[in-house]
Amino acid sequence: MSGERPAAGMDVTRPSPARIYDWLLGGKDNFEADREAGARLLEAQPLAGMMARANRGFLERGVRALAEAGVRRFLDLGTGLPTSPNVHEIALAADPGARVVYVDNDPLVAAHNAALRAKPAGVAAVHADIRDPDAVLARPEVADLLEPGEPVAVLMLAVLHFLPDEDDPHAVVAAYRDRLAPGGYLAVSTPSTEGYTGAELAEITSPYRTATAGVTIRTRESIEAFFGGWPLLPPGLVEASRWRVDGPELRGKMLAGIARRP
């Protein structure tokens, strides 16, 4: 059973991507509909749990690498349910003066993020839809973070496949990416079509058809386009399990990369 009561505005009868992801990671912030959808996902893609854990590993290594490169400001878009160590824990461990803003539209995530007000100074949370960049960027917490000065890292990890093509995800990403000053970074992780047949893709996306957001899995070329031609940090756009670590090569790739604005 879930360790959480439903948050205000949350429909527990429909699976939520954030709660399915939490279940895949062994978390407790999920409900029966999420567990059923997660089980169907594992039937279609037995490596889904490993891919989720690989993405978490990429988050940890990526944020740590950015902090070591001198980044002290992080904008985490589509943050999902907290799993330790989270972005602010890694960033603050590297520099107590680091600042992190989380943005998500899931009601349960918002309830968790509200508790961040009790966390150390420099951590803020915004309940908003990342598909509306103008509204997100107008929030004072975000606008202040993006003020010229130190470099900012925008994180869009395991979230872009929940934006359908009709939402024009490349324009959404560009709206955030183009606000970054030179020296800023964009980190992206999202599953690709590599290694799948069309029938397999249909099976993998099927559990999300009744969820609060569907899934669109994109080609490597489409994922590369999210970076807007910015140079990627070594080792480039690779499986999350192999970004700066000798991890396993998984059939069905969660591609991950970090690019720096010249």
- Average pLDDT of the segment spanning 256-261: 98
pLDDT of residue 137: 96
How far apart (Å, rounded) are the C-alpha atoms in residues 90 and 63? 7
| CA dihedral of 163, 3, 10, 22, whole degrees rounded to 10 | 0
- Average pLDDT of the segment spanning 89-96: 93
- Name the residue among 219, 167, 30 with its Cα closest to residue 108: 30
pLDDT of residue 118: 54
Residues with Cβ within 8 Å of 138's Cβ and at least 6 positions away in sequence, in order, are none
Encoding tokens for residue 262?
Answer: 């010249």
How far apart (Å, rounded) are the C-alpha atoms in residues 121 and 206? 42
pLDDT of residue 164: 94
How far apart (Å, rounded) are the C-alpha atoms in residues 258 and 250? 20
Q: How confident is the model at residue 10 (pLDDT cuts 50, 70, 90)?
A: low
User: Mean pLDDT of all residues in the chain?
Assistant: 88
Residue 259 or residue 108, greater confidence: 259
11-24 per-position pLDDT tens digit: 778 888 888 878 88
- Average pLDDT of the segment spanning 162-189: 96
Is pLDDT at 252 greater than 90 in this prediction? no
pLDDT of residue 7: 52
pLDDT of residue 255: 96
Whether omega before 235 lies within 30 degrees of 0, making that bond cis, reads yes
Q: What angle do CA 242, 200, 52 make, to 5 degrees?
A: 35
How far apart (Å, rounded) are the C-alpha atoms in residues 218 and 194? 9
Is pLDDT at 179 greater than 90 in this prediction? yes
120-156 per-position pLDDT tens digit: 678 998 999 999 999 999 999 999 999 888 899 999 9
pLDDT of residue 2: 44
- Name the residue among 160, 149, 125, 122 with its Cα closest to residue 139: 125
Is pLDDT at 116 greater than 80 in this prediction? no
Q: Percent of the chain having pLDDT more than 90?
A: 55
How far apart (Å, rounded) are the C-alpha atoms in residues 90 and 65? 10
Length of the chain: 262
How far apart (Å, rounded) are the C-alpha atoms in residues 14 and 227? 33
Is pLDDT at 112 greater than 80 in this prediction? no
Encoding tokens for residue 244?
Answer: 């700066």
Is pLDDT at 3 greater than 50 in this prediction? no
CA within 13 Å, CB half, 71: 33
pLDDT of residue 251: 63
CA distance to 37, 98, 119, 191, per residue, from 115 (Å): 28, 18, 7, 30
Encoding tokens for residue 209?
Answer: 């058809």
Determine the 3-state secondary structure of 75 from DSSP: strand
In contact, 110 and 125? CB cutoff 8 Å: yes
pLDDT of residue 119: 63
How far apart (Å, rounded) are the C-alpha atoms in residues 28 and 246? 30
37-90 per-position pLDDT tens digit: 889 888 888 878 888 888 999 999 999 999 999 999 999 999 877 777 889 999
pLDDT of residue 238: 95
Q: Percent of the chain having pLDDT more than 70?
A: 92
